[in-house]
Amino acid sequence: MGKIERKVVLKKDVKDSILSYCKMKHPSEGILILRGKSKKGTITVDGLVIPPFSYSDQTFAGFPQSFLPFDLSYVGIAHSHPSGSASPSVTDMHNFFGLVAIIVQSPYEKDEDIFAWDSAGNALPIIFE
Ligand SMILES: [Zn+2]
């Protein structure tokens, strides 16, 4: 009782942009900042930002968070897993940013390739709009 069920709402154009970006970066990981808002446990993602000074290879994608402006519209990060596993790595959890981590597994084709995790490593449901 009183527990807020958290979920992620992903707009279609944002989802398509994430999938395209992941494909473009393959076989390296791609990483994007998620913009949106959080209200009553619902994290709505309606925009993307390419992080400054990002770096990536086949097993890791990141960026120095100290270069980010303080911006309350940054709700999390999306990154790709070219290996095809959508579980967050230990490194992912150590570099958790914002409220949600979206991980897209290869081949980045459909809704089922997209997963959302909170900072405790719990899977969050995604609603595609
Ligand atoms: Zn990862």
2 in a structural domain:
no
31 in a structural domain:
yes
* C-alpha torsion angle, residues 16, 18, 20, 25 (rounded to 10): -170
| Spatial CA neighbour of 31 closest among 87, 104, 113 | 104
pLDDT tens profile 45-71: 999 998 877 777 777 777 777 667 777
120 in a structural domain:
yes
Asked if 1 and 35 touch (Cβ cutoff 8 Å), the reply is: no
pLDDT tens profile 60-119: 777 777 667 777 899 999 999 999 889 999 989 988 999 999 999 999 999 999 999 999
Query: Where do the H-state alpha helices sit in the chain?
Result: 12-25, 90-94
Count of residues in the chain: 129
62 in a structural domain:
no
- Distance between Cα 60 and ligand 1 center (Å): 6
CATH of the domain at 92: 3.40.140.10
Q: Which residues surround ligand 1, an ion (CB under 5 A)?
A: 89, 92
Q: What whole-number distance in Å separates Cα of residue 105 and Cα of residue 109?
A: 9
Q: Would the pTM of this model clear 0.85, i.e. be above it?
A: yes
- Distance between Cα 36 and ligand 1 center (Å): 21
